Amino acid sequence: MKALHELVQEAKATALGQVVLSPNEAEVARQLQICNACRYCESFCAVFPAMTRRLSFEQNDIHYMANLCHSCGACLHACQYADPHDFQVNIPQSMAKVRLETYQTYAWPKSMGKWYQHNGLWIAICLTLSLAFFVALIMMKQNSSVFDGTKVLGFYDILGHNAMVNLFAPIFIFDVIALGIGLFTFLSKIAPVTGEVGASTQATLEATQNMLTLKYLDGGHGEGCNNEDDAFTLAKRRAHHLTFYGFMLCFASTTVATFYHYALGLFAPYDLSTLPKLLGVLGGVSLLIGSIALAKLNLSRHKDHGDAKQKPMDLGFIALLILTSSTGLLLWLAGKTVAMPLLLALHLGSIMALFLTLPYGKFAHGIYRGAALVRFAVEKRQPSRLILKED
Ligand code: SF4
Ligand code: SF4
- Tens digits of residue pLDDT in 200-217: 889 999 999 999 999 999
**Res 214: pLDDT:** 92
Q: Pick from 238, 253, 214, 252: which is nearest to 366 by CA?
A: 214
Closest ligand 1 atom number to CA of residue 48:
5
Between the CA of 39 and the centroid of ligand 1 the distance, in Å, is 6
The percentage of the chain sitting over the pLDDT mark of 70, rounded to a whole number, equals 93
Task: In whole angstroms, give the CA distance from residue 300 to residue 148.
Answer: 43
The percentage of the chain sitting over the pLDDT mark of 90, rounded to a whole number, equals 68
**Res 5: pLDDT:** 64
DSSP readout, 118-178? H--HHHHHHHHHHHHHHHHHHHHHH-TTTTSSSS---HHHHS-HHHHHHHHHHHHHHHHHH
Residues with CB under 6 Å of ligand 1 are 34-35, 38-41, 75, 78-81, 89, 91
Judged by average pLDDT, the poorest of 76-90, 217-231, 235-249 is: 217-231
Total residues belonging to the chain: 391
**156 pLDDT higher than 80:** no
Identify the residue with better confidence: 241 or 197: 241
**14 pLDDT higher than 70:** no
**Res 8: pLDDT:** 66
Instruction: Specify whether the CB–CB gap between 305 and 297 falls below 8 A.
Output: no
Sorted by sequence, the CB contacts under 8 Å of residue 64 that are 6+ apart come out as 50, 190, 193, 194, 372, 375
**13 pLDDT higher than 70:** no
Closest ligand 1 atom number to CA of residue 42:
5
pLDDT band at residue 128 under the 50/70/90 scheme: very high
Instruction: Specify whether the CB–CB gap between 368 and 67 falls below 8 A.
Output: yes
Task: In whole angstroms, give the CA distance from residue 169 to residue 225.
Answer: 39
**Res 2: pLDDT:** 60
- 296: buried, middle or exposed (CB in 10 Å: 19+, 13-18, 0-12)? middle
Half-sphere exposure of 240 (CA within 13 A, CB side): 23
pLDDT band at residue 15 under the 50/70/90 scheme: low
Ligand nearest to the CA of 369: 2
Mean pLDDT, rounded, for 358-380: 93
Residue located nearest, by CA, to atom 3 of ligand 1: 79
Task: In whole angstroms, give the CA distance from residue 211 to residue 373.
Answer: 8
**Res 388: pLDDT:** 55
**Res 109: pLDDT:** 92
Residue located nearest, by CA, to atom 2 of ligand 1: 79
Ligand nearest to the CA of 376: 2
**16 pLDDT higher than 70:** no
What is the chain's mean pLDDT, rounded?
90
DSSP readout, 232-262? EESHHHHHHHHHHHHHHHHHHHHHHHHHIII
Between the CA of 133 and the centroid of ligand 2 the distance, in Å, is 42
pLDDT band at residue 10 under the 50/70/90 scheme: low
Beta-carbon count within 10 A of 357 CB = 22
**Res 364: pLDDT:** 92
75 in contact with ligand 2, CB cutoff 6 A: yes
Torsion angle of the four alpha carbons 366, 58, 15, 4, in this order, in degrees rounded to the nearest 10: 80
